[in-house]
Amino acid sequence: MKIIAVGMNYPQHNREMGHTGEHPEPVIFLKPDSALLKDSKPFFIPDFSNEIHYETELVVRINRLGKNIAPRFAHRYYDAVTVGIDFTARDLQRRFREQGLPWELSKGFDHSAALGTFVPVSRYKEVQQLGFHLCIDGRQVQQGCTADMLFRIDDLIAYVSRYMTLKIGDLFFTGTPAGVGPVSVGQHLEGYLEGEKLLDLYIR
């Protein structure tokens, strides 16, 4: 399986990160399967970064083999969603960007893709109207709604499938809204989708 992640998919997050230009196509990057962090296991801050940020996202699970998928059929290719965290080594990302280098290492390190419990898409009336948020130590720090995405879920699936075959079990991290920030040892992170807690982990 592969983890397909979308960058700069929420306007307010783009502004908070200083990205003012418009992108005519989605910004896509990959994380390796070794980035997965599941089953409420703790996230250990790596020793190569002094600035690990949380980025809360809706995650979509692919359930069919697909290539060159038309947007109108894309909804047939995923069956479950959850809340995830795209942990980012912001200091590394900043340095790589300044040097004009690829920044996959700042995004794809071990356990940088935290996953909550998946729930069926059929539970929700409209996947592009889902609210999600993150609490740290009981305080809400980030909130988003899929209606605010620059590129809709079905369009993302269609776009990526032009370039690479989607396989059963592949995951889409669909982008983060505004409100990202650093984590520190001892914090308790809880992710919610439509008011239901799906993600629960501690920072070590």
Confidence of residue 187 (pLDDT cuts 50, 70, 90): very high
Give the residue among 7, 19, 109 at the shortest CA–CA distance from 55: 7
Mean pLDDT taken over the chain: 96
pLDDT digits (tens, 9 = 90+) for 7-53: 999 988 767 777 666 778 999 999 999 999 999 999 999 999 999 99
Region for 76 from its dihedrals, namely left if φ exceeds 0, alpha if ψ lies in -120 to 50, beta otherwise? alpha
Query: Which pLDDT does position 15 carry in this prediction?
Result: 75
**CA–CA separation, 112 and 159 (whole Å):** 24
Instruction: Give backbone dihedrals phi and psi of 33, rounded to 5 degrees, phi first.
Output: -65, -20
pLDDT digits (tens, 9 = 90+) for 99-140: 999 999 999 999 999 999 999 999 999 999 999 999 999 999
Query: Which pLDDT does position 14 carry in this prediction?
Result: 64
Q: Which helix (H) or strand (E) holds 158?
A: helix 153-161
Q: Does the pLDDT value for residue 87 go beyond 80?
A: yes
Instruction: Give backbone dihedrals phi and psi of 146, rounded to 5 degrees, phi first.
Output: -65, -15
**CA–CA separation, 167 and 1 (whole Å):** 7
Six-digit token pair at 140? 């809400």
Number of helices (H), then strands (E), belonging to the chain: the values are 3, 15
Strand partners, 142: 134
**CA–CA separation, 159 and 67 (whole Å):** 10
Confidence of residue 194 (pLDDT cuts 50, 70, 90): very high
